[in-house]
Amino acid sequence: MAMNGTLEHAAAALLDGRLTDPFALLGPHDEGGGTVVRTFQPGAEEVSLIAQSDEHELGTLKGTGGLFVGRLAENVAYKLRIVWPGGAVQETEDPYSFGTVLGDLDLHLFGEGRHWGLGHVLGAQPRAMEDVQGVAFSVWAPNARRVSVVGDFNNWDGRRHPMRLRHGAGIWELFVPRLGAGSRYKYEIAGADGSTSQRADPLARATEAPPATASVVAATPDFHWTDADWLAERTARQGPDAPISIYEVHAASWVRPEGNREGTLDWRGLTERLIPYVADMGFTHVEFLPIMEHPFGGSWGYQTLSQFAPSARFGRPEDFARFVDACHRAGIGVILDWVPAHFPTDPHGLAHFDGSHLYEHADPREGFHQDWNTLIYNLGRREVAGFLLASALWWIETFHVDGLRVDAVASMLYRDYSRNAGEWVPNVHGGRENLESVDFLKRLNEVVAECCPGAVTIAEESTAWPGVSAPLEQGGLGFSYKWNMGWMHDTLQYVERDPVHRAWHHNEMTFGLVYAFSEKFVLPLSHDEVVHGKGSLIGKMPGDRWRKFATLRAYFTFMWTHPGKKLLFMGGEIAQDSEWNHDAEVPWHLLSDPEHASVQRLVRDLNRLYAKEPALHARDADPSGFQWIVGADSENSVFAYARLGHGDVPPIVVLINMTPEPHRNYHVGMPRAGRWREVLNSDAALYGGGNIGNDGLVEAEPTPALGQPASATVVLPPLAAVILRFEGGRR
């Protein structure tokens, strides 16, 4: 069939992979008083048209160079019947006979950066169009010259399924009939710079397991949740007055499968083993290092490429949903680390995605992160900010996760973060604050609070930026909590010192109370403290084996009784004696050693006591819930303080001796006269200590001391902490 010059030019562009408007050439077209159909099927021997209704023949197409052209005999819905070499016959609807995939409202909201449901719209969406099942593909690449969807279904040939550009929004789209969940795919992009590359889908909801890099069509989310009671209680469970104790986990290396030290437990295995362990240990939450798909396991997930896809390392997306549901049934919340600050430069990813700096800043002073050799999201671009906001909501809404810990917030807030003079670009006012990132973080917290009541956001933020966890209406960033990096740094520095030197550094333990109520804090002993040559927690403690274990027990007790929520990285609870190795597992064999098992027992008991005693958690963000009793006895390295609840809640007094010698007649003020029960002693034999203490009871006399209305003479065990709870009047 003859073609005019315009069509010949389009056909040549198709064969060369240069066709920018495939719908102008392919599919059905009214020409010369009838309908002409064109389809590109390179390698096919025959192509004919058949009726969808009863499959009677409607015409035969003639082919040249893979482009088959013919006239439709009747004006009815048709299918393509394709005969391949060897006699294989394929019947399918014509992708170029369908209308547009996305609605105008979707395009408008995406362009405004306000489409919170992108995970249900863009990417690869199994759906029906005109009663035909298939997959609707769509991807943002406004500067590309041509985008095609490629996969096993078309031999990864970018000429087979070029996509339609929705001008204005910069989104390319195509409906591919008879394709379904499980199909591998990428986008082949002819970039604005003349390059051609195959890219993973930024909106993929499933991926191949690394090192493979293809995206995978995921089934429409259809999981039956059983956690309605949990979600109804979530706001109360995660509020500032609730006990929150977080077990931080790297899913791949918590434990390895039996007999396979290089293998990884999937979500089913983690459901069977991790959930009972976390529940037994008394942690209220489990927090995962990023489980979003990432190409390099050694990044621990912090170099994320698929912001909507749970890593295929651990199974299917629905398996992750089942894990979260099981956590909720066990009374455990789930927090995910989430990385909106930067992304890796892998060639199948987001870098220079459409031949231009699309997701990242063009200027390396803004767009390249020197510390991690990664690219920085251009959060001033509405589409990029909206993409990330939709990702945040995707995890909370689709998988019912209870919170996001936002990584590297400090690097987002400051344009000169980790940069020397001349290596950064000031903001429009000449300052160092990253105004676009500030707006993004505020918007993130506003949207999460509005759309997902009860979910929390937690900032990993290490600077003195004011109001990180203050409400938006008060000028804050609006996070639920902030990691207290200063507390972690100062107190670890103190306990690492030999006791003989601690008297001169007493303020390292007390300074945190100066600002403890300026934010709603989480006290973190995270993975960052046991990597890159920092050793293990037990390894940081000075002295011989007895002193190391005693100091760690005292430090844990100090942490669990200090204002602020708690976070402990896996392995810390058993006094892991080696630095964390992501290629190994937690050295569980250490539990055969009574001292390691005793530390685990102490952490379990601290969690239970912390949850049971309102005085230890109900006023974490209220300065009236804490009171120093002894804060300046640097000579004896003693700390004493009271934790106070509301109303008739029994107060708690904590006494800590950070020297290796007991103080047997230490006189201390007490908030009330009467009996005080010794509810925990980190030197108890139960925890591997020397069993020095107060025989379970302290009697406070109505004699004022140290600004308190009562006082008592107590025994302070060496390198230990004692927790006393008020029980009532004097005997």
| Residue with the larger pLDDT of the pair 76 and 554 | 554
The active-site residue, picked from 360, 407, 436, 678, is: 407
In the three-class reduction of DSSP (H, G, I as helix; E, B as strand; rest coil), residue 577 is classed as coil
pLDDT of residue 24 exceeding 70: yes
- Could you give the CA distance from residue 592 to residue 588 in angstroms, rounded to a whole number? 8
Q: Per-residue pLDDT tens for 378-400? A: 999 999 999 999 999 999 999 99
Contact status, residue 365 vs residue 419, Cβ threshold 8 Å:
yes
Question: What mean pLDDT is reported for the chain?
Answer: 95
| Count of C-beta atoms within a 10 Å radius of residue 145 | 20
DSSP H/E element including 382: helix 382-393
In the three-class reduction of DSSP (H, G, I as helix; E, B as strand; rest coil), residue 498 is classed as coil
Q: Which two tokens stand for residue 489?
A: 């740094």
Residue 140's beta-bridge partner residues?
A: 171
Cβ-count burial of 647 within 10 angstroms (0-12 exposed, 13-18 middle, 19+ buried)? exposed
What's the whole-number mean pLDDT along residues 581-598?
A: 96
Catalytic site includes residue 407? yes
What residue ranges in 123-163 does DSSP mark as E strands? 123-129, 132-140, 146-151
Q: Per-residue pLDDT tens for 455-514? A: 999 999 999 899 999 999 999 999 999 999 999 999 999 999 999 999 999 999 999 999
Percent of the chain with pLDDT over 90: 91
pLDDT of residue 299 exceeding 50: yes
Cβ-count burial of 474 within 10 angstroms (0-12 exposed, 13-18 middle, 19+ buried)? exposed
pLDDT on residue 4: 59
Catalytic site includes residue 460? yes
Q: Per-residue pLDDT tens for 346-368? A: 999 999 999 999 999 999 999 99
Which of the four pLDDT bands, split at 50, 70 and 90, describes residue 32? confident
Which of the four pLDDT bands, split at 50, 70 and 90, describes residue 731? very low
pLDDT on residue 1: 41
pLDDT on residue 432: 94
Quick one: which of 8, 305, 19 has its CA closest to 147? 19
Residue 343's beta-bridge partner residues?
A: 375
Residue 654's beta-bridge partner residues?
A: 641, 723
Cβ-count burial of 26 within 10 angstroms (0-12 exposed, 13-18 middle, 19+ buried)? buried
Q: Where are the alpha helices (DSSP H) in 248-337?
A: 267-281, 317-329
DSSP string for 585-604: ---GGGGGSHHHHHHHHHHH
Q: What is the pTM of this model?
A: 0.95
Q: In what order do the strands lie in the sheet with 34-40?
A: 27-31, 34-40, 67-72, 57-64, 46-51, 78-83, 89-92
* Type of residue numbered 510: T
pLDDT of residue 689 exceeding 80: yes
| Distance from the Cα of residue 30 to its chain's centroid | 51
User: Omega into 718 within 30° of 0, i.e. cis?
Assistant: no
pLDDT of residue 5 exceeding 80: no
| Distance from the Cα of residue 320 to its chain's centroid | 13
Q: Per-residue pLDDT tens for 51-107? A: 998 989 999 999 888 999 999 988 889 999 999 999 999 999 999 999 999 999 999
Cβ-count burial of 242 within 10 angstroms (0-12 exposed, 13-18 middle, 19+ buried)? middle
Which of 22-36, 104-118, 591-605 has the lowest average pLDDT? 22-36
The active-site residue, picked from 106, 248, 460, 529, is: 460
Q: Per-residue pLDDT tens for 99-155? A: 999 999 999 999 999 999 999 999 999 999 999 999 999 999 999 999 999 999 999
Provide long-range contacts, Cβ within 8 A and 24+ apart, for 60-65.
Answer: 61/37, 62/1, 65/11, 65/15
What's the whole-number mean pLDDT along residues 635-655?
A: 96
Which of the four pLDDT bands, split at 50, 70 and 90, describes residue 3? low
Encode 599-666 in three state secondary structure: HHHHHHHHHHHHHHCHHHCCCCCCHHHEEEEEEEECCCCEEEEEECCCCCCCCEEEEEECCCCCEEEE
Which of the four pLDDT bands, split at 50, 70 and 90, describes residue 2? very low
pLDDT on residue 74: 87
List CB contacts of 381: < 8 A, sequence separation 6 or more.
none
Q: Which two tokens stand for residue 59?
A: 């015409």
